[in-house]
A = this chain, B = another copy of it.
Amino acid sequence: MDAENTKPVTRIQREKHELILEAALDVFSQYGFRGSTIDQIADAAGMSKPNLLYYFKSKEDIHAPLLARILDTWLEPLRALDQNGDPLPELQSYIRRKLEMSRDFPRESRLFANEMLRGAPGFSDVLHTDLKDLVDEKARVIEKWMAQGRIARCDARHLIFSIWATTQHYADFDIQVRAVLGKERGGETRFEDAARFLDQLFLHGLTPKK
């Protein structure tokens, strides 16, 4: 009955499953679902298309587990936001962790972005439940901090949006960021520079300390 949940059992199955998902992440994150072809993925995985289809019976079946895996990973830093910690350091470390994810998992970020651009088909239910619930919960935590005067009063949800946006930008718009910074400005320090900048932005904004 649960034919789709049959997990790999043999050594080869485990290896190839992982190999294919790795290759698929490369391809899907660049071209999106419709723009990617099974042949492309098979090539990237170094195998023939029918061979790939022996492990995943359809294009959807390769894409779905990638998405499922990601949302969880992606929200982990937000889950770690601790209501018992100090507000500013908590948010600071949330921002830093999200930025590190953009640095270390840019393909995952782009896959997610591709899905959002398409309007998140067959994914919007998760957005309205799991995601919304988590954001609601953490927004309440942040609002409590505001009520206690430990943090400036602002819209907690838009604060979360701005953290997502600024950090994911470095993965999703990597090409643009590199182009603008140029090589002479040492594009390899861009994540440290970004971390410093975001720290200041979220802590103090642009008002000069007189």
**A residues at B contact (CB < 8 Å):** 29-36, 87-88, 91, 110, 113-114, 116-120, 124, 127-128, 131-132, 135, 149-155, 157-162, 164-166, 168-170, 172-173, 175-177, 179-182, 185, 193-194, 196-198, 200-210
Contacts and interface: CB of A to CB of B under 8 A. Distances in A.
This chain's copy number in the assembly: 2
Which DSSP category, helix, strand, loop or mixed, fits chain A's interface?
Answer: helix
A124 B198 CA distance: 26
26 contacts: A31-B35, A32-B114, A34-B36, A88-B207, A91-B206, A116-B172, A116-B173, A116-B175, A119-B175, A127-B175, A127-B176, A127-B179, A131-B176, A149-B208, A150-B208, A151-B208, A152-B204, A152-B206, A152-B209, A157-B180, A157-B181, A159-B197, A159-B201, A162-B198, A164-B169, A203-B205
